[in-house]
Amino acid sequence: MSKSGLSKAIGDLPGVSSEKEWTNSLERGRRPGPRMNEHVVIPDKCGVSTKAVHSGTYEDPTVGSVGTPIFQNSTFLFSEHTYEAFFQGISRDAPIYTRYGNPSQWSVQEKISSLEGAESSLVFASGMAAISTTLLALTNKGGHIVSAYDVYGGTYNLLHHDMHQLGREVSFVDSTSFEDIKNAVKDNTQVLFFETLSNPLLKSIPLKTIADYCKENRILLIVDNTFLSPYCCRPLDYGVDIVVHSCTKYMNGHSDLTAGCISGSRKYVDRIWDQMLRFGGHLEPFSCFLLERGLKTLALRMEKHVSNAKAVAEFLNNHPKVKNVYHPLTNDVSGKYINEYTENENFGGLVSFEVSDDEAGLKLLNELKLPAAATSLGGLESLVSMPYNTSHSTLTLNQRKSIGINPGLVRLSVGIEDLGDILNDLDAGLSAI
Ligand SMILES: *Cc1c(COP(=O)(O)O)cnc(C)c1O
């Protein structure tokens, strides 16, 4: 429609006489949120535990419940506020329909925003829903994405199998090499996607250098911070545009839920919200309640995961049955950049290590009593798995070798059990192989 045509159409609206008057009558702006008056907002200067406990709580004015009620409903009564939100084009900020937004989602989103230092966040039904929705929202047909060849398996499969069908081209690089990353960037590169700590070798990345480069070249930088959690690292503070989590892991921390989230500026999160409306991967209210509850103890849990994992890494590093130990304290690739984006040696709770071969690894998994043999990570309980028959089972021996996954590699998600019990169990298990 031509400009004059638009003026004319607007001029025809009741009570509106010109284009100028119409645009002037919009009061919307990019405000943090969504949040309602009832949602608790904690200032950024407060500590991480205060934010984890209080931020986003819905203070129910009707019965005075302590803690957020569960808004287990799919739709909300229309009100003046709803109609105004439609008129202003800010329907993300009004309770209308649960796929669009729900106070239970806003509570947990506010908590995550406060922990990540973000203007806005969104919660999804899984980490993969968060990642796929975000990548499709922030790229378009003909665009190009650069990522690492050893990103999380689900992410790799999305990038490798689906993106080209959707007209996005993808290059995979060694995420520890800024040279490699830079060489892969082309005129049509729209997004760089990396992990703050990789699976299963816990590689760190030159995050600050990548973020500066992205700003200079107007490329969006998305990072998956699942292995560190906002307790250990706040990527937005270092110039990252969007941070993603599989909340199934440390964010929820109790292995009883799948969820995902993204955080960033309101401008980008609004775009991703729009995509989410069409793909439908929002988090339903009861899971929001579980995730909000899990997040309240994030700082307490992470403190213990971090200290236990450090002690386990040092114990394994001195054990005669163990070859390489992959942890920032014991491995150069892991440790290379991580101090640039974490403080106080908050390295998360994962440790990977090698025993003599895959057979010995399997025997170890059988011998261990405390860590359960299962995939996933970041729960209260210790979990142990071997990449060769789980996350990386579709790769040949040579492909695994080329990405550094040697025979006998074991990944341990160190739980919050008593350290002495974990070490005794590992010692007994290793003695038996
Ligand atoms: C588990 C995981 C995902 C996927 O999350 P889901 O909640 O399982 O969909 C993405 N990235 C990383 C690093 C993960 O560990």
Q: Does ligand 1 lie within 6 Å of residue 152's CB atom? A: yes
Q: What is the pLDDT of residue 3?
A: 34
Span from the CA of 10 to the centroid of ligand 1 (angstroms): 47
Q: What is the mean pLDDT of residues 278-288?
A: 98
* Residue minimizing CA distance to atom 5 of ligand 1: 127
Cα within 13 Å of Cα(79), Cβ side: 8
Span from the CA of 156 to the centroid of ligand 1 (angstroms): 11
Q: Check whether 406 has a pLDDT greater than 60.
A: yes
Q: Check whether 283 has a pLDDT greater than 90.
A: yes
Q: What is the pLDDT of residue 1?
A: 31
Q: What is the dihedral of CA 166, 171, 172, 176, to 10 degrees?
A: -130
pLDDT in tens, 236-253: 999 999 999 999 999 999
Say what percent of the chain tops pLDDT 90. Answer: 85
Q: Which of 80-94, 218-232, 289-303, 412-426 has the lowest mean pLDDT?
A: 80-94
Q: Check whether 38 has a pLDDT greater than 90.
A: yes
Q: Check whether 13 has a pLDDT greater than 50.
A: no
Q: Does ligand 1 lie within 6 Å of residue 150's CB atom? A: no
Span from the CA of 378 to the centroid of ligand 1 (angstroms): 11
Sign of torsion, CA 227 229 233 234? positive
Q: What is the pLDDT of residue 14?
A: 41
Nearest to 211 by CA among 189, 234, 239: 239
Span from the CA of 412 to the centroid of ligand 1 (angstroms): 16
pLDDT in tens, 102-117: 999 999 999 999 999 9
Q: What is the mean pLDDT of residues 285-297?
A: 98
Q: Does ligand 1 lie within 6 Å of residue 56's CB atom? A: no
Residues 16 and 199: beta-carbon distance below 8 Å: no
Q: What is the pLDDT of residue 243?
A: 98
Q: What is the DSSP string of 175-227?
A: TT-HHHHHHH--TTEEEEEEESS-TTT-----HHHHHHHHHHTT-EEEEE-TT
Which burial class, exposed, middle or buried, applies to 277 when counting CB atoms under 10 A from its CB (0-12, 13-18, 19+)?
middle
Q: What is the pLDDT of residue 395?
A: 82
Span from the CA of 373 to the centroid of ligand 1 (angstroms): 18
pLDDT in tens, 211-239: 999 999 999 999 999 999 999 999 999 99
Q: Does ligand 1 lie within 6 Å of residue 321's CB atom? A: no
Q: What is the pLDDT of residue 117?
A: 98
Mutate to test the pocket of ligand 1, among 123, 124, 126, 128 (most ligand atoms within 8 A of CB): 128
Residue 238's H or E segment, with its range, is none
Q: Does ligand 1 lie within 6 Å of residue 246's CB atom? A: yes
Q: What is the mean pLDDT of residues 313-324?
A: 97
Q: Does ligand 1 lie within 6 Å of residue 128's CB atom? A: yes
Name the pLDDT band for 388 (thresholds 50, 70, 90): confident
Q: What is the dihedral of CA 404, 239, 181, 328, to 10 degrees?
A: -20
Name the pLDDT band for 143 (thresholds 50, 70, 90): very high
**Whole-number CA gyration radius for the chain:** 23
* Residue minimizing CA distance to atom 6 of ligand 1: 127
Query: Which residues share a beta bridge with 261?
Result: 123, 245
Q: Does ligand 1 lie within 6 Å of residue 285's CB atom? A: no
Q: What is the mean pLDDT of residues 304-315?
A: 98
Name the pLDDT band for 399 (thresholds 50, 70, 90): confident
Span from the CA of 249 to the centroid of ligand 1 (angstroms): 8
* Residue minimizing CA distance to atom 4 of ligand 1: 127
Residues with catalytic function: 99, 152, 224, 249
- Top pLDDT among 216 and 84 is at 216
* Mean pLDDT (the chain, rounded): 92
Q: What is the pLDDT of residue 401?
A: 87
Q: What is the pLDDT of residue 29?
A: 67
Q: What is the mean pLDDT of residues 345-371?
A: 97
Q: Which two tokens stand for residue 9?
A: 């159409």
Q: What is the mean pLDDT of residues 147-152?
A: 94
Q: What number does the ligand 1 atom closest to the CA of 247 have? A: 7
Q: Does ligand 1 lie within 6 Å of residue 127's CB atom? A: yes
Q: Does ligand 1 lie within 6 Å of residue 225's CB atom? A: no
